[in-house]
Amino acid sequence: MNNTSEIGFVSPVKMDGENSETTEPSPAPETANSSDDSQKEKEDEDDHVMSEIHLGCPPKFSGSFVSYFTFSLPPDVEYIEGKYEYRVLDDSKLNQEVSLDDDGDLVLPRRNKHPKDKFDVAIQHNITSSIPKVGLQVWRAELVLSDFVLHKMYTSSKFDGIVAVELGAGTGLVGMLLARVAKTVFLTDHGVEILKNCANNVHLNSTLLPSKTTVYVRELDWKASWPPKQDNCASCESYAWNQSQFEELKRASLLVAADVIYSDDLTDALFHTLERLMPHGLEKVLYLALEKRYNFSIDDLDVVANGYSRFRSYVRDETDDAENNELPNGSLSAFVGTRIDLTKIPQYAFNYNRGLDLELWKIKYVREEEKHIT
């Protein structure tokens, strides 16, 4: 039985099983031999990290923990049968004649506070983890992406009835929020322990999800062959894909990912996966939230955000030069992105600090014939 606690701030974040990390990751050497890789994997397993989001949990607690993360709804929005809809507020009493109480004071009619102005999401997560298992923890970038997804759902119907994919889903928070309005959601990550924890979170929040929505928890190793085979995950047959699910995946129009940019080799694997996923089926858009983590680099003799630099080597900012598809390395960019102004996204997750190092990007894949078109 897991311990439970109410945390009146934040929602959980996630990351990618092997595809995640926290504070100060070091990029893998570009030409590492197998012994170097084995040594790095051993070091990653030995090192444990902790997200600042977990500081509300009991001191000296280790292992799995269930927290309840609270999200607010705007006063004129309510959730009805799998959709967020605007509620018409009853202002009729405001047009009534002014009246006085027994003491001669003015009596003002008041709107009744709607009982469903917030909701909780239960998330099972770890307090600490090794670097390959940071998907068991909660991270700030996930909260930013949660705020953005909720804002889209509160203010438009663009996500209603869609097929969506969360990459590096970790605890599955963003995907579960999307599942409140989407038709199908794939929560994907790598590693049996992370996948089992994610599936458990879906079960914990089953009452929040409409019966018409289908949620799949699936293994997706960015470094494996495509499409992933069932034998890619020997001990997690229940998280393997079948042909009908791949056909459904092609109909996905929305991809989301949070805090999956922290090392160069993982960033390479992510964009290699996106190159195989985004060109097929419906046109897709990726919303990616990240946290820039700064380290002192001996090579640069400066403080740099290593994973961020590799990320920007893949994505051309269309606001920089709309007539130039080339990246600094001279290659043509397959990905065009726009950085979203976070000051325009309300904070619906309770009491977390966004800080200045979080970014949110809207990224599209440029098909081959479009690369030379301005």
Q: Are 360 and 342 in contact (CB under 8 A)?
A: yes
Strands (E), 58-162: 64-72, 77-80, 83-86, 99-100, 106-107, 118-126, 129-130
3-class SS of residue 164 = strand
Residue 268 lies in a domain: yes
Does residue 107 belong to any structural domain of this protein? no
Q: Tell me, what CATH number does 198's domain have?
A: 3.40.50.150
Q: Could you tell me the pTM of the whole model?
A: 0.79
Considering the domain boundaries, does residue 316 fall inside one? yes
What is the pLDDT at residue 41?
53
C-alpha dihedral (282, 318, 269, 148), degrees to nearest 10: -70
- Whether the ω angle into residue 346 lies within 30 degrees of 0, i.e. cis, is no
pLDDT by residue (tens digit) across 250-294?
A: 999 999 999 999 888 999 999 999 999 999 889 999 999 999 987
- For Cα atoms 117, 175, 147, give the angle at the middle one, nearest 5 degrees: 45
What is the SS3 assignment for 297? strand
3-state secondary structure of 198: helix
pLDDT < 50 positions in the chain:
1-35, 93-94, 113, 231, 328-330, 372, 374
Q: Is residue 55 part of a domain?
A: yes
Distance CA 206, CA 204 (A): 6
What is the Cα–Cα distance from 33 to 18, expressed in whole angstroms? 19
Asked if 317 contacts 308 with a C-beta cutoff of 8 angstroms, the reply is no
Q: Which of 222, 214, 284 shows the shortest CA–CA distance to 252?
A: 284
In terms of residue numbers, what domain contains 176? Answer: 3-84+114-370
Q: Residue 15 corresponds to which tokens in the numbers above?
A: 């990351």
Burial class (CB in 10 A: 0-12, 13-18, 19+), 95: exposed
pLDDT, position 28: 35
H or E, element range at 270: helix 264-277
DSSP β-ladder status, 335-339 and 106-107: unpaired
In a domain, 105, yes or no: no
* Structure confidence at residue 48 (pLDDT): 80
Asked if the structure places residue 101 within a domain, the reply is no
Kindly report the backbone phi and psi dihedral angles of residue 354, in degrees, each rounded to the nearest multiple of 5, phi listed first. Answer: -70, -35
Per-residue DSSP letter, 152:
H
Peptide bond preceding 210 in cis form (omega within 30 of 0)? no
Residue 303 pLDDT: 73
Find residue 78's DSSP bridge partners.
85
Task: Report if residue 92 sits inside a domain.
Answer: no
CA atoms of 219 and 190, how far apart (whole Å): 5
Query: Which residue, among 168, 63, 59, 41, has the nearest Cα to 125 in the 3D structure?
Result: 63
Task: Write out pLDDT tens, residues 26-45.
Answer: 333 333 444 455 555 555 55
In a domain, 80, yes or no: yes
Number of domains in the chain: 1
Calculate the average pLDDT of the chain: 79
Token pair for 175:
């995907």
Tell me the one-letter amino acid at 22. T
Cα 95 from Cα 133, distance rounded (Å): 59
CA angle 91, 95, 97 (to 5 degrees): 140
